[in-house]
Structures are given as structure tokens and as C-alpha cells.
Amino acid sequence: MTLNPSAAESFAAQRHVMGTITPSGNTVVERVTLGIARALPLVSAHFSRTPVFGSADPSPDAYALEGLLSAARLLAHAAPQVLVWNGSKGAGIGFHHDRALATQLQIETGIATTTSMLGMQALFKARGIHRIGVVTPYSDSAQHKTLACLAREGLDCVAHAHVGLSDNLSYSSVPTQDIVAMARSVASAKPQAIVCLCTNFPAAVVAAPLEAELGIAVYDSTALGVWHGLQLCGADTSAATALWGSLFSEVC
């Protein structure tokens, strides 16, 4: 490719094809994924949706598989190299649900599958991270459920902050300055990393500047899904580091 490739050259160069399933009430996953892909011209990102919206979850302790399987089947028509469930529900119901989901989708489609929470687990295992700070947009009850689940997964939450919202769509409306303030507040406990949980929470866009300010790794759940999917594609993600944070310099 030339230094200033034409649209045709850029299109032809794309060779890492990633399919992403996102909750239907989510307005963040696609925007963040495409933003990251702009820094990685070899990546082609494609999307499908499954019903997750509002404040009432009809399947609070498990995945509603019908919608996820339907979304995965549609993406499989495009023959991506990897499928990603970019949702953070596993942080509240247990990572074993994500492992079972990834296995089922892979059996159904024949395509390697991961989730944002499996990406986080892989990263933390590789880096020996267990002391974390947690920032979310969730309600008190959802925050409590999330922290209890993370503790069962062997993660020590040394500080946390949350907004108090319960409607899925509202999570995307949290101002970035509020996310920054919450991250600063949990940073005082000196965690190994700060995790911003909820894939409809626009924390990925402030991860890089927060890392520069705080000297602590900041990992956003949406970015974790993108990163792990691209790892499974064999993509070099380092060019996304400057805008999207140290996560994209990692190799698992």
C-alpha cells in the first residue's frame, strides 16, 4: 500500500474479518469498534444484534440463547474469522456462562468465538492482574451483583464507583467527564488496573488519556472484546495504542 492509499487500495488490503454481536439497545459497541478499526486498516468489522434493551432482563442469570444464535448465524453468512459477543453480562452471572456461550456459538457456526469478558480473563491471566478498580454506570443492585461475581472469579476489587442507572440505553449517555472522575476516584486505591464495565458505557474513548494521567492501565469492556477478537484473527493491534490505550499493545 502507498502512504496515502486510495479507497480501492484500502478496501482490498483488509484481511482480518471480525463479526460482532451487540445488544440491541447498545449505541457504543459499533462506534468504538469502527473507531479502533480506523487505526487498523487491515481490519474489516461487521455487526449483528440480539435483543437486550430497557431495564428488565427476562433472563437475569443466564443468556437468552435464541437471539444470540440467530445473530451468530447471520454473521456466519459473511464468513468472518472470529465472532465476538461484545456484551458484559458475564461479569454479573459468571465467566463460565461466557465460556459455554462461546463454545455453543462456535459449534453452531464453525467460527472461533470469544466475548469481552473472556478477553478480560485472558488478559488478566497473562498479566497476573487480580487487584482491580471497577467503574460502571450500573444501579446499586447491579453493581453489588457484579462485584460479588468478580470476587467469585478471584478478582479483588479494591475500589469501585458507579452511576446508578438501570436502563440499558441510558448507559451510553454518561458524560465522559463523569467517567474520568470515577476512574480518578478508584485510582487512589492503587489497583493494578481499572476496569470500566458495560459495553454501552463510553469509557473506551478516555482510556488512553487516563492511563497517561494516572499511570495505571485502564481497560474498557468494549475495547477488550475488540482486542481479543483481533488477537484471535492474528491482527497486529499496536497502531491503535495511541488513541485507544495500552491494551492494544498487548499480545496474548
Quick check: 199 and 239 in contact, CB under 8 A? Answer: no
On whether residue 1 sits in a domain, the answer given is no
pLDDT exceeds cutoff 80 at 3: no
Q: Over the stretch 130-162, which tens digit does the pLDDT of each residue have?
A: 999 999 999 999 999 999 999 999 999 999 999
Same domain membership, residue 165 and residue 80: no
pLDDT exceeds cutoff 60 at 1: no
Same domain membership, residue 110 and residue 233: yes
On whether residue 252 sits in a domain, the answer given is no
Number of structural domains in the chain: 2
On whether residue 68 sits in a domain, the answer given is yes
CATH number of the domain encompassing residue 211: 3.40.50.1860
With bands split at pLDDT 50, 70 and 90, how would you rate the model's confidence at 15?
confident
Domain that holds residue 194: 123-220
Same domain membership, residue 101 and residue 13: yes
